[in-house]
């Protein structure tokens, strides 16, 4: 957790410096309070995944930018095989009831990232719209979950898949007493 906190702090500082944004400007662009941003930069806060999404959206970058301390190899038109184990990557990057395994972090040449997400019992999160053109794919691996798309909750069980426009409000919840696990592929427009 300490390593992730340091990664968040370093990444936020780096992105602010690159854009020459003050904390006030960053708060305006991300919709996250100046106080929270300062706490993240000082390594004093563990934000929710929803807050990390807001920050990523404000900077027009991927979620994995903030939760993957180790980058994978850059895109290669003749790639070597890359094997990653979700069991080795799974962690709780925020204080909410979600475990995240960044299976394949964002690669700008491919324009997508792949996560294994675990919703612990009684988890619920609404996500604000992502950038225009972002599409998400959800593939349920274990348990039962609900996905808020098109202004309603859809129940998804093991083996079900959904593709939806993530540039609209959406959400995820697990109202059961057992975890729900799914793959989430996020495609960003070029």
Q: Domain ranges in the chain?
A: 2-67, 93-187
The pLDDT score that the predictor gives to residue 43 is 85
For 93-187, CATH number?
2.60.120.10
| Residue 58 phi, psi dihedral angles, 5° rounding | -65, -35
Say if residues 30 and 54 touch (Cβ distance below 8 Å).
Answer: yes
> Angle CA(120)–CA(94)–CA(122) in degrees, nearest 5?
25
Please name the residue ranges forming H helices in 23-114.
23-30, 34-41, 49-59, 64-67, 86-89
The pLDDT score that the predictor gives to residue 57 is 85
Q: Which CATH class is domain 2-67?
A: mainly alpha
46 vs 4: CA distance, rounded Å: 9
150 vs 81: CA distance, rounded Å: 38
The pLDDT score that the predictor gives to residue 69 is 63
pLDDT along the chain (190 residues), means of 10: 78 93 94 92 83 87 78 58 86 80 86 94 91 95 97 97 96 96 94
* Strand stretches in 55-120, DSSP E: 98-107, 112-119
């Amino acid at each position: 957790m300490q390593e992730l906190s340091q990664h968040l702090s370093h990444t936020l500082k780096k992105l602010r410096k690159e854009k020459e944004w003050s904390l006030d400007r960053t708060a305006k662009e991300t919709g996250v309070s100046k106080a929270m941003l300062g706490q993240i930069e000082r390594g004093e806060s563990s934000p929710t995944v929803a807050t990390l999404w807001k920050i990523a959206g404000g900077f027009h970058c991927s979620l994995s930018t903030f939760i993957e301390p180790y980058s994978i190899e850059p895109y290669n038109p003749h790639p070597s095989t890359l094997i990653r184990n979700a069991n080795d990557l799974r962690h709780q990057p925020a204080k909410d009831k979600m475990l995240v395994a960044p299976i394949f972090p964002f690669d700008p040449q491919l324009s997508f990232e792949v996560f294994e997400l675990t919703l612990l019992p009684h988890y619920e999160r609404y996500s604000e719209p992502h950038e225009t053109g972002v599409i998400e794919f959800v593939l349920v691996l274990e348990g039962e979950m609900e996905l808020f798309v098109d202004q309603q909750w859809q129940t998804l069980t093991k083996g079900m898949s959904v593709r939806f426009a993530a540039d609209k409000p959406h959400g995820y919840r697990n109202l059961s007493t057992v975890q729900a696990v799914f793959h989430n592929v996020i495609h960003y427009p070029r």
